[in-house]
Structure formats: C-alpha cells, structure tokens
Amino acid sequence: MTKFPRAVVAALLIASPLVAFAATPNVQITEWMYNGNDATGEYIEFTNFGNSAVDFSGWSFDDSSRAAGSVSLSAFGMVAAGQSVILTEAQATDFRAAWGLTDSVKVIGGNSNNLGRSDEINIYNAGGQLVDSLTYSDQTFAGTVRAQNASGNPVTLAELASSTVTSGWVLAEAGDRYGSRASTLGDLGNPGQFVLAAVPEPSGYAMFAAGLLMIGGLARRQSK
C-alpha cells in the first residue's frame, strides 16, 4: 500500500469533516534507539500530531527517574504540525552528519540521561505535566524489540496509544516502509521523519480518524 509522510496525512485529516482535533498539543514518541555504534546510535524522535505548531519552550525529557525538567527541550522552539524532532546523546552536528540530515531537522544533542536496554521515555510540557511516555524492555515484555543498532518503529498509530511497548513495534530495516537507512556507522533508522506505515482504504478513514482522536484524548500521560 502507498506510504505517506505524516504531514500529508495530517493535511488530509484536517480537511476531513470526520475529525475535530482537540486544542491540547498531541506530541508522540514515534521512534527510539537505545544503543548503537557511537553516540549517534542513541536517539529519540518526537512528532507533533496536532494541526498547529507546538512551542516546546519549557518542555523537558527524562527517563525512568521521571523527573520533569531533567533535560530541557526548549531548544526545539516551535515544532510545526507533522514535524519530527530528535533528542540524542551525540552532538547535533555529529548526529546530522552520521544520518545525512539537513539543518531543517531540529536536533538537540548532548542528552546526558542515556537510555538503557530496559528504560522509559518521558516527555513533559512547560507545566511539568506528562505529555507522552513509553516504557520498553525486550527482557520484560516478551516478543518486543531490542532497539540496539536499529530503531524501534510503530506498525500502526494504535501502538502510540499505549504507554508500554507492544509487539506492534518493529526494528528498522534498510529500505523499509519508514524510509530507514544505515548511518555512516552502520546503525539503521529513520530519524527526523515519521512515515505512516499504511494509509487506510477510503472505507477505513472513519476508523483511522477515530483512532487519532482516541490517541489525542487519552489521559494516560497525565501521571504515573
């Protein structure tokens, strides 16, 4: 089936009478790699699923210690609808060079809260409220990916509704549906873009839209 970038899908949904987006920001964790070859092999991707830009001033990241304010995300500034941004432990220039990214992809480097094989990804807004969270561990959750040297990617949007990794996350492969490729150091991923796995047939648009609304309205991110 045809694959479309998130921005294209967002435009279709905005024009559709089936969807009425909530005013609250809808930012999701869409990709991660906890370890790779050198620091450029560890990163987290966040994507703005809303229909308007989100100001990341005052936003922050933390891992399993769950402390809002730990790692500032303010440098992302305004993140446009459909835009994906990257947090990495590498320096931003090194990360862009390793993955062949232009300056148009927003990257915050120097993340000191490094991810482990079993860990959490938590993102907080300026008020310290949990916006999105993902707990992962191939050792704890049977049948889930180990995102080492290859990033984890959701097969469908439904996977984003869970705060715990599911078997619906798969590892990046060169030339896959996500546009994955190898970095200069041999890691596999698609940082800086979120490509929808599959666009539903016309008869499935209503279900697809309802799924997005469910994701946007879930309160799972409010507290641990």
Its domain, for residue 109, covers 6-217
Determine which of 19-23, 91-95, 113-117, 123-127 has the lowest per-residue pLDDT on average.
Answer: 19-23
CB contact set of 69 (below 8 Å; sequence gap of 6+): 60, 62, 124, 128
Is residue 119 situated within a structural domain? yes
pLDDT in tens, 38-51: 999 999 999 999 99
Is residue 224 situated within a structural domain? no
| CA 90/CA 16 separation, integer angstroms | 40
Report the pLDDT value the prediction gives residue 211, as an integer from 0 to 100: 52
Is residue 222 situated within a structural domain? no
Residue 207 pLDDT more than 90?
no
- Residues β-bridged to residue 88: 43
Q: Is 210 in a helix, a strand, or coil?
A: helix
Is residue 103 situated within a structural domain? yes
Is residue 108 situated within a structural domain? yes
Q: How many domains does the chain have?
A: 1
Is residue 84 situated within a structural domain? yes
Question: Which uninterrupted H or E stretch holds 28?
Answer: strand 27-33
**Token pair recorded at residue 120:** 């959490």
Amino acid at 149: N
Rounded to two decimals, the pTM is 0.79
Decide: 86 and 44 in contact? Cβ < 8 Å: yes
β-strand pairing of 152-154 with 130-136: unpaired
Is residue 195 situated within a structural domain? yes
- Residues β-bridged to residue 169: 154
CATH code (residue 37): 2.60.40.1260
Is residue 223 situated within a structural domain? no
| CA 56/CA 60 separation, integer angstroms | 8
What stretches of the chain show up as alpha helix (H) in DSSP? Answer: 6-15, 92-99, 205-217
pLDDT in tens, 175-195: 999 999 999 999 999 999 998
The neighbour count for residue 167, using CB atoms within 10 Å, is 12
Determine which of 58-62, 156-160, 199-203 has the lowest per-residue pLDDT on average.
Answer: 199-203
